[in-house]
Structure 1
Amino acid sequence: MIRYSLVCEAGHGFESWFPSADSFDAQAARGLVTCPVCDSARVAKGLMAPNLARTDRARAPVPAEAAPVPAPSPSALPMVAEPERRLRAMLRAVREQVAASAEHVGARFPEEARKIHYGEGKERAIYGQASPEEARALIDEGIDVAPLPVMPDDRN
């Protein structure tokens, strides 16, 4: 196994493990290696320091009752720059505002949007799911729809 430090075209740094250098090259060429922050498939190897084992001295024993090292808090990780962190907070606030002030109608969204538009249903703010084709059909009918932003965390 080999660990690579990777960087996407937007400058986001991250690490990933691969069985071999050829495996990384093949996956990257097929667009399978993507940035966990922006989902870009334009990824390159970053600078890495080699991890070499020393053979001139014995390793120190690890104490059996060694305390586990706590994971760093997400805010301590430098993966996301401050402007992007603010943008994500704003997008999350938009989603939360919609969820708090509109009715979730799920997969019935296209049907409910049409009923409201044509005066057959109670006028109210709604949100839910629609396929790209359903959304296009609503727009073609003159029904105002807008997608809610998908947060990178929503994909994990």
Structure 2
Amino acid sequence: MNTGSHDKHINAKCIENLCKGMVHNIIPDLEKAKVSVDEALRNQEVLIETVQQENTKFVDCTSMGQLVDMMHEAKSYYNKLMTVKKDMNMLSDKTQRLKRRAVKLQQQKQKEEQYSIQRRERELEKEQQLIARVAKKSDTPSPSTNDHDSNTV
């Protein structure tokens, strides 16, 4: 029985020594693998940061595109505003010319009315002078009228 327990003890020592030897052989490889994994993690962090920066640039480019679009739209509205302003100035000029023309036409019409009134007044005056002359002539008997009247009686 002693040999059986001794074998067990030897087997246990053998297993322990084999395990230690195996661990001793594997640890350098595991440490190298750990270093490689740590380096891969650092590289991954650098890549993540780089991708985030590129995403920020992309967002900035999108924002820049929106800004450019907004500037084009602002330019378009400015051009429309200038067109409206030009049209308003043109209409204002036309309105001023039409007002001046209306004033001239009104003045001309007033002159014509005044001339017409004066002409009528002169005609009335002439008519009244003619009526007054005719009345004076009919009030004073003329020699030919008296002769004519006496012949009829």
Per the normalisation by structure 1, the TM-score is: 0.16
Q: Which has the higher helix share?
A: 2
Per the normalisation by structure 2, the TM-score is: 0.16
Q: Which has the higher strand share?
A: 1
* Higher RCO (Cα < 8 Å, 6 or more apart): 1
